[in-house]
Amino acid sequence: MEFILTFGSVHRVLKAEGILKEAGVAFRLMPTPKALEKVCDLVILTGEGELFAAKDALFDAGLPPRNIYRREGDDCVKV
């Protein structure tokens, strides 16, 4: 299962990228899926096993995701 983390701006996504790299969390940047409202051009995609580590690292750094979605095929469900 994959999860999408949104941040509302490219600047915040790129800052989150640095935080997650430093924390050793597996993730990838990707364009915002069409199923989500376009708030930003980039989002972070991470697996189920990495979600809690990603959230912990981002919250500890003061940069929590704006929203988190579970990816279900072409659909996204807010969690």
**For position 29, which CATH number holds?**
3.30.70
The verdict on residue 78 lying in a domain is no
Q: Please tell me the total count of domains within the chain.
A: 1
Check: pTM over 0.85? Answer yes or no: yes
The answer to whether 42 and 10 are in contact (CB under 8 A) is: yes
* Residue span of the structural domain in which 31 resides: 2-66
As averages over each run of 10 residues, the pLDDT of the chain (79 residues) reads 94 97 96 80 94 97 96 88
